[in-house]
Every structure is written in C-alpha cells, then in structure tokens.
C-alpha cells in the first residue's frame, strides 16, 4: 500500500514539474513595429516603452529622425510606447511612471506595420 502511494505521489510531482517547466519555457510573443517620421522636417522623438502592466520596467531612447526616416522597435505583445514630452521624460528619469495614455500598445496583429508619428 505504501509503495502505491509513493508511486502515485511521485507521478503527481513529476506531472506538476512538467507543467511548470512548460509554462516557464514559453517565451512571450515579440512584435516588430516600424515608426515613421512622416514630416518634411527632421524631428526629435523620445520613445519610452513599458513592457509590464505595472509599468515598472521601461526603456527610454531619444532619436532624431530625418524626414520620412523610420525606427523599428521589437518588443513583446502588451508593451506600451509613449512619445514622451519633456515633462514625461523628467518623470521617467526621476524613477516615477508615466500615467498618461500610451501612444501605441503592441498587439500581435501589429507585427510588420508602419505607424506614422505625426497626425498633421
């Protein structure tokens, strides 16, 4: 009887371990989106991305894009991208989170899209 219980316990533990391993090894889906300076003038953009819902992990990159130049960003689905103004840059640099609405949220169907950075 004890042998059967031991075998069942071992089988259950192995099953739980296999399920946990499968969940850990599944990488998050990545998406590549190209952002285009659709202006006749060169423009400076500061991209701030948050890739977790709680906005604790971020990356900040400032670039000057020539007219009609592009910047491709590859990140995980759910990443929030902000075109940060000086106030938002100061917020991020002080260790706080941007609480405004994101310019773009990465979705799986966005993979390969080109997004214009200016509306005018």
Give which of 6, 28, 25 is closest to 17, Cα–Cα.
25
User: 3-state class of 30 per DSSP?
Assistant: strand
Domain total in the chain: 1
Tens-level pLDDT at each residue, the chain (120 residues): 666 666 666 565 566 765 655 555 567 789 999 999 999 999 999 999 998 776 778 889 999 999 999 999 999 999 999 999 999 999 999 989 999 999 999 999 999 999 999 986
Range of the domain at 78: 30-116
Prediction pTM value: 0.72
Dist. CA 108–CA 114, nearest whole Å: 14
CATH code for position 52: 2.60.40
Q: Say if 41 falls within a structural domain.
A: yes
């Amino acid at each position: 009887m004890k042998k059967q219980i031991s075998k069942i316990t071992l089988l259950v533990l192995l099953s739980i371990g296999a399920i946990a391993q499968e969940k850990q090894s599944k990488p998050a889906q990545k998406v590549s989106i190209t952002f285009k300076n659709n202006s006749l003038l060169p423009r400076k953009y500061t991209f701030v991305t948050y890739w977790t819902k709680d906005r604790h992990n971020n990356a900040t990159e400032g670039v000057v894009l020539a007219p009609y130049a592009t910047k491709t960003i590859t990140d995980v689905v759910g990443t929030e991208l902000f075109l940060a103004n000086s106030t938002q840059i100061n917020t991020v640099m002080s260790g706080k989170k941007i609480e405004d609405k994101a310019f773009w949220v990465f979705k799986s169907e966005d993979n390969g899209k080109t997004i214009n950075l200016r509306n005018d």
